[in-house]
Each structure stands twice: as structure tokens, then as C-alpha cells.
Structure 1
Amino acid sequence: MITFIPLTGFLGAGKTTTMTTTALALQEQGHRVAVITNDQGVELVDTKLVRSKLDSVAEVTGGCFCCRFEDLVEAIVGLVGSDNVDIVIAEAVGSCTDLQATVVRPLRQYYGDHMVVAPLTTVVDPLRHLAFERAAQRGEPESDLSYLFRQQLSEADVIAVNKLDTIPAERAETLLTDLRAQYPKATVVGCSATTRQGIDSLLDAWRAPAGNEAVDLDVDYDRYAAAEAQLAWMNQELDLVAANGEFDATAWARAVLDHLSTWAAEHDAVVGHAKLTVETKDGDFTKLSVTRAGEQPTPDREAGGTTDVARAVVNARVACEPEALDRAVSEAVTAADQCAQVVSSATAPVSFKPSYPRPVHRLAPAGA
């Protein structure tokens, strides 16, 4: 019998870091753990980072788990069969919701003889949550993105407030208290996947009964689709060659994301996330990310030294039109090329907006 642990949460919440950190913690306890990444597009920055830390990794691309249910099952079966794992952790696309009805219940109903599905966990960025809360306190109408964010919280069995190391302790305690009052059926855990603070409490929550299993979430799929359609999605590959000797891959990546972050702030464009990897010819790589407009890039990994050639992958999810994101990324790359003395060549821009969510299954709670 294997255990399947589903993660959801808005873009930039730190799901991948949470997944990786908890997988390593479970391995330390003697488990054999695999993970699955998920995205609307292909060429995922996060998958490369996860594979640098874990042996058993799969990905489901081209849509969320709810719309790619058979692909999810195939990935689980493949990992169990090839790597003999006993735990699979999977993170859904950051713009996805209604997972209790479209993923958790179908897995329990159709595969419950072979699989224990752990409580559904929503990973939360505290600063993102506070931003949505401030908008509500100002009396602003609830945006479609805020609606999507609230639905992710409403269906959670476990709410994992991540990145607690980024806010003051008093503020963190107030936030946890407020979430426990707002979502009394959920287990609310504070943690930092980066520092491992609270990770043991999160693992304990996964072993407890699911609190929201019987809740039938009322999802307005038109609003859900509208929220996803506010975001332009880009996955782009680039080949990089030094214009003069060698270049610093981390400096180039930082310049790209600095420029893109500044552009988003100037255009009041919400950044779901912008992530970038640069892999050198010897297999070393840099990974940086931005989760809010105007912020400085955060390094997850930095390549050592310089290189003469490299390959980059950009994943950007920004609330704007696809054509605007194409231009913004192209301008950011041009600026970074000039700064780092690089000649880059890229695949054609492929920004798009997700299609209307059409889950394979949508099951009501037992007895409903």
C-alpha cells in the first residue's frame, strides 16, 4: 500500500520547496519517496531543481492533475513500479482548485485498494495572503484571483503557512490564529520549507484524518477559468554563448529577473512566479525566482565560476496579456545579454493563457 500526498496552493507559495524538503525528511525516516511536478506547459524549471536533490521524480505537463487525471495515475504507477517507492508527493498547478472533488475523491474511490490518499494540503505564502486580505479590508470587490486563492484555502484539510521566516514572529502568530478561526475544519501549520521550521508538524498533520473530506466545495467554474485566464504563462528555452571569453550565469539570470520584476511593478502586473535556470556545459546550474512584482530575485541554487556556453529555461506566470509577457521577457533577456556580455538565441515566445478547466472526474462526497 502506498501513500499519496497531494499539495495545492497559489503560484509562488513554495510548493516545490515544501515538497522537496518533506520528501527528504520522510527519506530520513526510512521511507522511499517519489515526487511529481505539474504545470500547464512543458520544460519546467522546478523539475530540474527537484532532480538535483531527489532520485525519483516525474512530471505531468499540459494541464492540471484534474484535467490530466490518467497521466497522474500513470506517473504514480510508473514511480511505484520502477523505484519501489512507498510515498508519492505531488504538487498541482498553482492556479488549480477543486482538487478534493476532481483528484482526491477519484483516487480514493477508484484506487483506494492500493493507495492511501493523505489530507489535501494547501501551501500558503503569508505575504500573498496578507495582500489579498488588505484588499478585502479596503472594501475592494473580490477579484477572480482572490476568489481562486480563497477556494484553495476552503477545500484544504491542511493549511501549511510557508515562509514563516520571512515575517515577524508576532505577525506570524496572528496570521495562524486568524486562519484557524476562518477555516476551523482545517489543520493550520506554520512552517518554513527553507529552514525546516515546522516540517515535523506538517508531517504529523499528513498522518491525521482529513477534516474536509465531507465538504462539497461550491466552485464557480466561470470565475475559476477567468482567474486562470488573467495569467499569461511562458516557458521558454534559450541558448547562451559568451560574447567575450566566459560569463557569469548567475549574474545573467539575476539581470533577467531584475528587469522582469521591475517591469511588472511599473505595469502593476501581479506576478504569480517567474523562475529561471541556467545550466552550464558541465551540468552545474543556477536557479533564481521572483514571486512578487518589484522584489529582488531569490536564489535557490547558484552555479560556481563562469562558463562560455549555457542553456536557460524561463518559466513566467504574470497577470497580463501573452503578447505583453513575450515583449517583457524579450526585453529582459536583451538587457541581461548586454550586462553579462552574452549572445542569446531563443525558441519563439510561447506565452499562452490556460484553457477552461474540464476535469475528467468530479465526485461529490460520500453520502451527498
Structure 2
Amino acid sequence: MITFIPLTGFLGAGKTTTMTATALALQEQGRKVAVITNDQGVELVDTKLVRSKLDSVAEVTGGCFCCKFEDLVEAIVALVSSDDVDTVIAEAVGSCTDLQATVVRPLRQYYGQDMVVAPLTTVVDPLRHLAFARAAERGEPESDLSYLFRQQLTEADVIAVNKLDTISAERAEDLLDSLRKAHPNARVVGYSAGTGEHLGSLLQAWRAPATNGDVRLDIDYDRYAAAEAQLAWMNQELDLTAAGDSFDATTWARTLLEDLSAWALRNDAVIGHAKITVELADGDFAKLSLTESGAEPTLDRAAASAPTGGRAVVNARVACEPDALDSAVTQAVAAADRAAGVTSSATTPVSFKPSYPRPVHRLAPAGA
């Protein structure tokens, strides 16, 4: 019997880090674990990093799990058949919701004889949650993005508050308490996927029965689509060539994200996330990420070598128009080229807005 562990949560919450950290922890317990990444586009930065740490990795691209349900099932079957896995962890697109009805229940109904579906887990960034909460406290009308975030919390069996190391212990406890009061049908756990602190509490929550499976999400799909359409999505590849003997891949990527971060702050553009990998000829790579306008990039992996060239992949999800994101990234690439002594050429410039979500299945709770 296969165990399937579904993760959801807003962009930048740390789903990929959570997925990787828990997969490694489960492997230490003797489980054979595979993971599945998911995105509206193709060429995923996260997949490269995950494959550097785990053997069994698959992608579902070009749409969320609900709209690519058959692709999700095919990915699970392929991983189990080829790698003999017993546990699959899958992270949904960060702008996706209504997963109980469109993914969890269909998997249980149509594949329950071969698969145990673990409680649906919503991963939460505490700073993002506090930002949405402060807007509500000020009496501001609920934005479409905040509406989507709230729906992700409402349908969760487990609310997994990640990155607790980024706030004080007192604020962390207050946040956990407020989430428990607001969502009494969910188990609320706090941890840090980056440091591993309290990660065991999340693993334990997955072993408990689902508590919120009968929830019937009263979701306005027009508003859901509007929330996704607020974000411009860019997946871009660039070929990099050093002007001299070599260049620093980390400096190039850091400069690009710093420039994009400053642009977003000036233009009041919410960054869902922005991630970059720079792949080198010898197989080494650097990865950096950004989850907040005006913030400093996070170094997820540094490249050890000094290359003469490489291939960069940029994934950016920003609340702006696609042409504005195209312009901002073009400007940021130019700044990175100057800082690192690089000549770059874009091979696939792509910015877009997601299409209207049309799930393959949408099942009501049993008995409803």
C-alpha cells in the first residue's frame, strides 16, 4: 500500500524545503520516498535542487494537480513502478486551493484500494500570514490573494507553520494559538524545515487520521481565478558566458534577485517567490531564492567551481502584469551581467498569467 502525502500552501511558504526535509527524515526511518513538484509553467528551479538530494523525483508541469489530475496519477504510478517506493510526497502549485475536493477525495475514491492519502497539509510562512492578518486588522477589504490564502487554511487537515526560526518564540506561540482557535478542525504544528527543528511534529501529524475531510469549501471560482491572475509567472532560461576567465555564479544570481527585490518594493508588487539556479558544465549549480519585496535573497546552494559559462533558469511569480515582469527581469539580468562580468542571452523568455482553473474532478464530502 502506497502512502500519498499532499502539500499545499501559498507561494514562498517553503513547501519544497519541507518536502525534501521530511522525505529525508522518512528515509532515515526506513521508508522509500519519492517526491513530485508541480507548477503552472515548465523548467522548475526547485526540481534541480530536490534531485541533488533525493533519488526519486517527478514533475507535473503546465497546470496544478487539480487540472492535471491524470498526470499526477501517472507520475505516482511511474515512481512506484520504477523505484519501488512506498511513500510519495507531492507539493501543489502555491496558488492552488480546493484540493480536498479536486485531489484528495478523487484519489481516495478511485485509488483507495492501492493508496492511503495522508491528511492534507497547508504549509504557512509566518511572516506572510502576519502580513495578511495586519491588513485585515486595519479594516482593509480582503484582497483576492488573501482570499486564496484563507481558503488554503480553511481546507487543511494540518496547518504546518514553517520558518519558526524567523520569528521570536513569543510571536511563534501566539501565532500557533491564534491558528488553533481560528481553525479548530485542523492540527496546527510549528517547525523549521531549514534547521529541522520540531520537524518530527509534522511527521507525527501525518500519521494521525484526517480531521477536515468533510469540509465543503465554499469557494468562488471566479475570485480564485482572479487571485491567480494577479500574478505574472515567468520561467526563463539564459545562457551565460564569462567575459574573462570565469565568473561567480552566486554573485550573478544574487545581484539579479536584489535588483528584482528593489524594483518590486518601489512598485508595491507582491513577490510570491523568485528563484534562480545557475547550472555549470561540470554538473555543479548555485540556487538562490526570494520571497518578499525589499528582502535579501536566500542562498540555498552555492557553486563550488568558477565556470566560464553556464545555464540559468529564473522562476518568478510576482503580482504585476507580465510585460512589467519581463521588463523588470530584463533590467535585473543586465545588472547581474555587469556585476559578475557575464554576457547573457535569453533562450526562452516567457511571462504569462494562469488560465481559469478547471479541475478534472470536484467531489463533495461523503453523504453531502
Class of the TM-score when normalised by the shorter of the 2 chains: over 0.9
Q: Establish whether residue 218 from structure 1 lines up as the match of residue 218 from structure 2.
A: yes
The CA distance in 1 between the partners of 2:135 and 2:311, in whole Å, is: 40
Deviation larger for 67-76 or 335-344: 335-344
Counterpart of 2:129?
129
Residues 265-306 of structure 1, C-alpha deviations (whole Å, 9 max, x = no match) = 000000000000001111111000000000000011000131
Rounded to whole Å, the distance in 2 between the matches of 1:317 and 1:215 is: 29
Alpha-carbon distance in structure 2 between the residues aligned to 1:301 and 1:115: 34
Tell me if structure 1 keeps the 8 A contact 2:241–2:342. yes
For 2:32, the equivalent position in structure 1 comes to: 32
Q: Mark the runs of 5 or more structure 1 residues left unpaired by the alignment.
A: none
Give the distance between the partners of 2:248 and 2:199, measured in 1 at CA: 35
In structure 1, what residue type is equivalent to 2:164?
L
Matches within 5 A, 1:262-281: 262-281=262-281
> 1:303 aligns to what?
303
Deviation string for 1:64-90 (max 9, x for gaps)? 000000000000000000000000000
| Residue 96 (structure 2) pairs with residue 96 (structure 1) | yes
- The TM-score normalised by the length of structure 2 is 1.00
- Identical aligned pairs, as a percentage? 79
1:45-60 pair list within 5 angstroms: 45-60=45-60
How much does 1:193 deviate? 0.2
Q: Which amino acid aligns with 1:310?
A: G
In structure 2, what is the Cα distance between the partners aligned to 1:341 and 1:217? 52
Q: Which residue in the other structure is 1:242 paired with?
A: 242
1 CA distance for matches of 2:244 and 2:59? 37
* Alignment correspondent of 2:256: 256
CA distance in 2, matches of 1:68, 1:280: 32
Secondary structure class of the residue paired with 1:18: helix
Give the equivalent residue in structure 2 for 1:357.
357
Partner of 1:134, secondary structure, is helix
d(CA) in 2 for partners of 1:133, 1:37:
29
Task: Quote the residue 1:199 is aligned against.
Answer: 199
Residue 336 (structure 1) aligns with? 336
Offset from partner CA, 1:105-124 (integer Å, 9 cap, x none): 00000000000000000000
Separation (CA, whole Å) in 2 of partners of 1:204 and 1:217: 26
Q: Is the 8 Å Cα contact of residues 102 and 360 (structure 2) preserved in structure 1? A: yes
1:158 has 2:163 as partner: no
Partner of 1:142: 142
Q: What is the one-letter code of the residue matched to 2:2?
A: I
Q: In the aligned structure 2, how far is the partner of 1:305 from the partner of 1:90?
A: 32
* Distance in 2 of aligned mates of 1:161 and 1:312: 31
Report the secondary structure of 1:107's partner residue: helix
What is the alpha-carbon distance in structure 2 between the residues aligned to residue 151 and residue 53 of structure 1?
32
Q: Which moved more, 1:301-310 or 1:323-332?
A: 301-310
Letter in 1 for 2:98: D
Q: Which sections of structure 2, spanning at least 5 residues, go unmatched?
A: none
Counterpart of 1:83 in structure 2 is 83
Question: Matches of 2:245 and 2:195 in 1, distance apart?
Answer: 38
For residues 50 and 66 of structure 1, the distance between their equivalents in structure 2, rounded to whole angstroms, comes to 22
8 Å CA contact 2:79–2:85 kept in 1: the answer is yes
Counterpart of 1:107? 107
SS in 2 for 1:210: coil
The question of whether the paired residues in 1 share the 8 Å contact of 2:238 and 2:348 is answered with: no
Task: Deviation per CA, 1:50-77: give whole Å up to 9, x if none.
Answer: 0000000000000000000000000000
The Cα of 1:348 is off from its aligned counterpart by 4.1
